[in-house]
Amino acid sequence: MLIRLGYDIHFQVAASVPMIAHLNVHPSRTLDLVEPDQLRVEPAVEIEQYQDSFGNLASRFLLPPGRIRLHNSFLIEDSGGPDPQDPRAEEVPVDRLPAETLRYLLASRYCEVDLLLDTATELFRNSPRGWGRVQAICDWVNQHVTFGYEHARSSKSALEVYNERLGVCRDFQHLAVTFCRCLNIPARYATGYLGDIGVPARPS
């Protein structure tokens, strides 16, 4: 299937502002692009692109004072199918994890591993190790957090999602990622596109 992606973001700034934007698809999906994935800035500015330490494509530029528009619209091809699954996947002991995965165990601004460690241990200590434990985490989050766009908040962290039991897509992911990291399962938040494709519309 073909999926159209895009954004149209406007800023009003009083002085020049350096900005780093993460608005491109992950480089692993570059071959699936049907149209160029190119950030457009109005008025035009010089844009420097680079890959950050997590492999994401980032755009660095200086916003001039005044009204600024960031926009893009492009097509990407996708099978439309679910992500691959392997229920037999095993859990690698933390002392044997590859060094490059250890960053995905750390706490962050949105994933308070230190504050949710005891909670994750209590909730999932009896879950089967490996795929089953990750599935148990995902199931718990989906069963205990209520989705609603009205619950969106740019500053919301995993701990707040756990306490409030309310959130949007990224809040579900932040809480699941945090629980995984608490249990020494490397995990990261990977942005998905239109996760409700193929889901029947609910009457309003």
* 67-95 pLDDT per residue, tens: 999 999 999 998 878 788 899 999 999 99
Tell me whether residue 43 is in a domain.
yes
* Residue 16: per-residue pLDDT: 96
pLDDT value at 49 more than 90:
yes
Length of the chain: 204
Tell me whether residue 193 is in a domain.
no
pLDDT value at 188 more than 80:
yes
How many domains is the chain partitioned into structurally? Answer: 2
- Percent of the chain whose pLDDT exceeds 70: 93
> Which domain does 47 fall in, by range?
2-77
Tell me whether residue 17 is in a domain.
yes
pLDDT value at 39 more than 90:
yes
Question: Do residue 68 and residue 100 come from a single domain?
Answer: no
Dist CA 16 CA 65 (whole Å): 5
Question: Do residue 9 and residue 73 come from a single domain?
Answer: yes
Question: Do residue 98 and residue 178 come from a single domain?
Answer: yes
Beta carbons of 3 and 193 less than 8 angstroms apart = yes
Question: Do residue 70 and residue 110 come from a single domain?
Answer: no
Tell me whether residue 156 is in a domain.
yes
Dist CA 111 CA 114 (whole Å): 9
Q: Which of 22-26, 54-58, 90-94, 197-201 is least confident?
A: 197-201
Residue 99 sits in a domain whose CATH number is 3.10.620.30
* 133-181 pLDDT per residue, tens: 999 999 999 999 999 999 999 899 999 999 999 999 899 999 999 999 9
Tell me whether residue 198 is in a domain.
no
DSSP 101-154: GGGGGS--SS--HHHHHHHHHHHHTTSPTTHHHHHHHHHHHHHHSEE-GGG--T
Tell me whether residue 144 is in a domain.
yes
* Dihedral sign (CA 150, 154, 158, 164): negative
* Residue 91: per-residue pLDDT: 94
Tell me whether residue 143 is in a domain.
yes
Beta carbons of 157 and 172 less than 8 angstroms apart = no
Tell me whether residue 196 is in a domain.
no
* Residue 46: per-residue pLDDT: 97
